[in-house]
Chain A
């Protein structure tokens, strides 16, 4: 059981999706989905606890050894990201079970397949397999985005699908170039062959530049980020909350490729352009937050802002910066998802006014307090996790080359976001309605309330646990930044795997 633990985060949601496709009654689908997601959460907690011993767990699929077969590689970063994915999945599925899932067909199997794609993308150690899991994740996200219907979602869906299809084409070209020059698709094998001589140097460089462009498209780096705010703003609240982790898939992929393959072989590939574009993304997102006309659109701009802040990190190649980024990633994903769910609750309580920024029926006090917590955390105000994360990132980035510019942009963006949130929050929650409400408000169900409070509670909890979490982030970063151990662990997988299985 323990030897097969690394595959469980992929198998559990996949089995659940198959079961849900077999029995089409909504109540059964809900029960299977929630049970599977709880199981996934337990498996991911176990995996994260096990991987904290610093060993690299390599799971060879079909027991084919590493450079020939496909391997799953579990280190602290991969385990932590699957855990984050499971937490987010459980909360958003609970929220969606209150009735959102009934607005269209096949919500539950697609949701589980989305979790398969996300967990697989974090775990795999093979670049073509990464492409496959990206596609699983994207195909599920295309249909989840359109779930619930409406022209806004269809229109956002068309540009999202077209852009990602072009991204997939570029991904395949990069993989073809890499296989043609290096003769392998395994990331560790690729990293070890890159440092040897005897192959063309320019083509792998071009291929990695293409790969980075694809990951930047997923992460939302500026010239490739115009799809993100309309798409996330148009999606239903629980779907958008799950999408909060999708930009992080691109960022984690950039971090992984940078640490394992690029840092030893071509350390100058990211220099010069990534930090500048990330700063531009932050400015773009902060200005966009001022223009938003709905709370969910504002939350989408904030997701872009946190992605821009995280993209400052890969070019820095400093262990402390990466550690700060890992804490920032945890808190920004959970807070971003919580923001979408709170926006959904506000829209439910305001009836026909939705989450548009105009006067409407008043909302319950606890929803207002939840909004206060997520807004303060998103703007980076103390005492919540957003403040701790931003402080850690700023402190760590001070010594880097672009330190001054980073401080100016991050603090300025924080001020703009605070202004936008304060102004729109006042209109949304306090301004009395001019006329009577156009439609009576629906009641908030217990599933919606529990799911939202679960994610909102992350903001104070992550701040209280900042000490142990930043130690864990430090350990994660130092493991990520020792590519030699990764390569040796994967390529010597056969011996390690059997030794591990016997234990």
Chain B
């Protein structure tokens, strides 16, 4: 379980970093999305991995830490909004310069 999650986070991060270093805005946007998936999984894992445990404290039953779940929810909302804004900005740059390079229209 731990190995699977760690591998997933590592693969997502590696793909995200690779895509962020591309020169076109769309791969960069995809890379940021993958990176934020990796970060969300990582944040979720900071409350330790537990199977079949609800985030509620009940007498005699095991429970999982609810705080990381709240943090992940916040992070997802913020990350989604930011990525949406970046997509609009990239479209506007494409419309204004006719180029989807991250330094679009630098020499024009």
Contact = CB atoms under 8 A, between A and B. Distances in A.
Contacts of B92: 146, 154
Contact of B74 (A132, A173, A177, A180): A132
Nearest to A151: B96
B7 interface: no
The range of chain B's interface size is 35 or more
Interface string B49-70: 0000000000000000001100
Contact of B20 (A155, A166, A185): A166
Nearest to B40: A172
B103 A155 contact: yes
B68 A179 contact: yes
A166 B40 CA distance: 13
Contacts, number: 94
Contacts of A168: 78-79, 82
Interface in A366-406: none
B96 to A, nearest CB: 5
A173 B102 CA distance: 26
Contacts of A132: 74, 78
A179 B43 CA distance: 9
Interface string B83-104: 1011001101100110000111
A155 B82 contact: no
Interface residues of A, number: 28
A169 interface: yes
Contact of B43 (A135, A154, A166, A175): A175
A154 B35 contact: no
Contact of B82 (A135, A176, A185): A135
A27 interface: no
B93 A177 contact: no
B35 A169 contact: yes
B94 to A, nearest CB: 10
B45 interface: yes
Nearest to A135: B78
Contact of A151 (B47, B48, B75, B93): B93
B93 A162 contact: no
A165 interface: yes
Nearest to A146: B89
17 contacts: A132-B78, A139-B81, A143-B85, A146-B92, A151-B97, A154-B96, A155-B103, A157-B89, A158-B90, A158-B102, A165-B32, A165-B86, A169-B32, A169-B35, A175-B71, A176-B42, A176-B68
Interface of A: 128, 132, 135, 138-139, 142-143, 146, 151, 154-155, 157-159, 161-162, 165-166, 168-169, 172-173, 175-177, 179-180, 185
